[in-house]
Structure formats: structure tokens, C-alpha cells
């Protein structure tokens, strides 16, 4: 199975037709929103039958979880300070060619739940994919983590190691991220093992093929797919991001720094401008440049890439 197909049969809530989205929302107790979807779908169905044109539209646009588009930003390394740090689009900066065939460290630095379905306290399952370039081929990697996050807040995570010593290769790297809102009580207990120190230390890699990687990745994918398909569990975010060394303007570039992925409305995606937003280092949040007290109103996560120092944390392999 190709990596882009892993979760295609388990679409995020924003991609579901109204009847299935309403079922998911009722499972987690959001009867009010489910009823609004059902009423709107019934009304629009009548219009489609009458006029024979058009497609189903959401009856609201103010739920961050309903959007499927993402905007990708970039923060370059910067010295400590209190001033706002500008955010650039991930395709508007230069790639660092010195990272070709280099090894990098990837950490999860922020995960904000502006709004996930159901409200209240969320249990979020996070699945992060990358490809590890080794002699003779490539290894598919998956890392799972779980967080408890209140609606409108950040997960208690900064600098969580994901992949340590990832080989970049000459073409760059590709990532995919998938999050699931887990509300099934049995599944919540199952996820407890992901909070152990073993999983919080990240996946440590060596320069040669590791036989244990394939079954480990398959187990991680299987866990995510199983939980995403269970009753009361809802996939929320799903995006793919490739970073390379080209000068093609529509591609995102690879460099050391922080990458942001914000789940934004498609109607705004074409006009999205990261110049309207900035990173506030004293609060660790993405805020409006016009008013630093105003937070970005969307779900987002931040992961960072830095050059790996093989002498600091990983034995020679």
C-alpha cells in the first residue's frame, strides 16, 4: 500500500457527506450540530432535486474541524527575544542545500485544538509519517503520540522528539500527519501505553536499514486505522507536506526551522496570507500581527527540523 493511501478510506470529518458527519457528531454527543446538518442536507436535497444543479454545502463556516485545507508556514531559526517573529509561507524561503544527504531531528513543538468535534477535553491521537533514506531504498516511518487537550488550548508538548537521525537523501523529505479525536472510553484506556517514557523519547534511527522498522511502522498504522474507524472516534486533520531543494515557486522548501500547518477554510485558503500572523515567543502562540492578544482561530500544529548531531544522543550505527 502506498503511503498516500493509508488513511484514504478513513476521511476526516470535514470530508464526510452530511448524513455520515451527523452520525459521527451524534456519537460524541453533539446532537445540536448533527441536527443542523440533517436539516440543511434535507433542504439542499430538495433544491437539488428541483433545479438539478449544485452540490451540498455546510450550513455553517465557523467550526475549525469542518475544514480540509491547510496553510503551511515557516519560521527560521532566531535568537531569543520578546518581539513577534514573522511567519513566511513554506514555499517563499530558500532551501538549505547543505541538508542534502544529511541527517535531521524532527520534534513536535505545538499542537493547538481551537475546536475539535464534541468540545470539552479531547484525547488526540497524533500519527506522523516520514520516509527514511537508507542505502538500497527507503523505510516508511510512523510515530504515534497521544495528548489530552482542552477545547481552545494547546497540548502540553514542546520539543517532543519524533524522528532522530532521519536521512534526508538528495530529493528532500515527505511528511504526512493525521489526527484522531478519540472519545471511545475503551480506546482511551488502550492509548495509555503511548504516554510512557519509551514513546516520548522518539524514534531513533541509524544510517543502515533496520529490520524492526517495517513491523513497527505497520503496527503504528494499524493502531491509527483501527481507532479512527471505531465508534465515537473522529479523524480531524490530514495533510501531506513535501520539502525539497528546488526553486519551483509552488513547492515547499527544506531548511532548519519550524513548520506550521494550520487547518483553514478553503474559501480563505486562496487568499491566506501569513503576513497577517506571527509567532509570539513569550506566549508560544500564533497571534494576529495587528493584535497580539488575538489568537489564530484554527487548529494547527508546529514541528521543527534541525541538523542531527550524531555525537549528542545516538550511538554510532
Confidence of residue 291 (pLDDT cuts 50, 70, 90): very high
Q: Cell triple for residue 251? A: 513547492
| Pairing mode, strands 285-288 and 173-182 | unpaired
Burial (Cβ within 10 Å: 0-12, 13-18, ≥19) of residue 8: exposed
Section 258-270 average pLDDT: 84
pLDDT at 314: 43
Query: How many residues are there in the chain?
Result: 317
Beta strands in the chain (DSSP E): 69-75, 85-86, 88-89, 103-113, 121-134, 137-150, 153-154, 160-167, 173-182, 203-204, 233-244, 252-253, 257-264, 277-280, 285-288, 300-307
Domain boundaries, the chain: 67-307
For residue 192, what are the contacts with CB-CB under 8 A and spacing of at least 6?
none
Section 285-310 average pLDDT: 94
Neighbours of 214 (CB within 10 A): 13
Confidence of residue 315 (pLDDT cuts 50, 70, 90): very low
pLDDT at 169: 87
pLDDT at 205: 64
Dist CA 85 CA 181 (whole Å): 31
- The reported pTM is 0.88
Confidence of residue 222 (pLDDT cuts 50, 70, 90): confident
For the segment 239-249, what is each residue's pLDDT rounded down to a tens digit? 999 999 999 99
212 pLDDT exceeds 60?
Answer: no
| Pairing mode, strands 233-244 and 252-253 | parallel
pLDDT at 193: 58
Higher pLDDT, 208 or 57: 57
For the segment 87-129, what is each residue's pLDDT rounded down to a tens digit? 999 999 999 999 999 999 999 999 999 999 988 999 999 999 9
Give me the percent of the chain exceeding a pLDDT of 70.
84
Neighbours of 197 (CB within 10 A): 6
Section 132-155 average pLDDT: 87
Cα 293–chain centre separation? 24
Section 289-312 average pLDDT: 92
Give the mean pLDDT of the chain. 85
Distances in whole angstroms, Cα of residue 169 to Cα of each of 100, 131, 248: 6, 10, 19
198 pLDDT exceeds 70?
Answer: no
pLDDT at 105: 96
Amino acid at each position: 500500500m502506498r503511503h498516500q493511501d493509508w488513511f484514504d478510506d478513513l476521511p476526516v470529518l470535514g470530508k464526510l457527506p452530511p448524513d455520515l458527519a451527523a452520525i459521527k457528531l451524534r456519537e460524541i454527543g453533539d446532537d445540536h450540530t448533527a441536527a443542523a446538518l440533517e436539516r440543511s442536507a434535507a433542504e439542499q436535497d430538495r433544491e437539488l432535486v428541483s433545479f438539478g444543479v449544485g452540490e451540498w454545502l455546510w450550513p455553517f463556516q465557523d467550526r475549525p474541524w469542518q475544514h480540509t485545507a491547510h496553510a503551511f508556514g515557516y519560521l527560521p531559526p532566531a535568537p531569543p527575544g520578546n518581539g513577534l517573529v514573522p511567519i513566511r509561507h513554506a514555499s517563499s524561503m530558500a532551501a538549505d542545500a547543505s541538508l542534502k544527504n544529511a541527517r535531521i531531528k524532527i520534534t513536535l513543538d505545538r499542537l493547538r485544538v481551537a475546536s475539535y468535534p464534541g468540545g470539552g477535553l479531547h484525547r488526540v491521537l497524533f500519527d506522523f509519517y516520514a520516509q527514511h533514506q537508507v542505502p538500497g531504498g527507503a523505510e516508511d516511518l510512523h510515530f504515534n503520540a497521544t495528548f489530552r487537550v482542552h477545547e481552545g488550548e494547546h497540548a502540553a508538548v514542546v520539543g517532543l522528539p519524533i524522528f532522530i537521525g532521519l536521512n534526508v537523501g538528495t530529493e528532500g523529505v515527505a511528511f504526512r500527519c493525521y489526527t484522531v479525536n478519540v472519545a471511545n472510553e475503551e480506546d482511551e484506556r488502550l492509548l495509555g501505553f503511548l504516554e510512557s517514557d519509551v514513546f516520548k523519547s522518539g524514534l531513533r534511527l541509524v544510517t543502515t536499514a533496520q529490520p524492526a522498522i517495517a513491523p513497527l511502522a505497520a503496527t503504528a498504522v494499524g493502531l491509527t486505522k483501527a481507532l479512527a474507524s471505531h465508534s465515537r472516534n473522529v479523524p480531524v486533520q490530514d495533510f501531506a507536506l513535501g520539502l525539497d531543494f528546488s526553486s519551483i515557486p509552488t513547492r515547499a522548501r527544506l531548511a532548519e526551522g519550524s513548520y506550521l500547518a494550520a487547518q483553514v477554510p478553503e474559501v480563505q485558503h486562496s487568499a491566506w496570507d501569513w503576513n497577517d500572523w506571527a509567532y509570539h515567543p513569550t506566549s508560544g502562540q500564533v497571534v494576529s500581527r495587528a493584535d497580539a492578544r488575538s489568537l489564530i482561530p484554527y487548529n494547527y500544529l508546529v514541528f521543527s527540523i534541525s541538523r542531527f548531531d550524531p555525537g549528542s544522543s545516538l550511538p554510532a550505527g
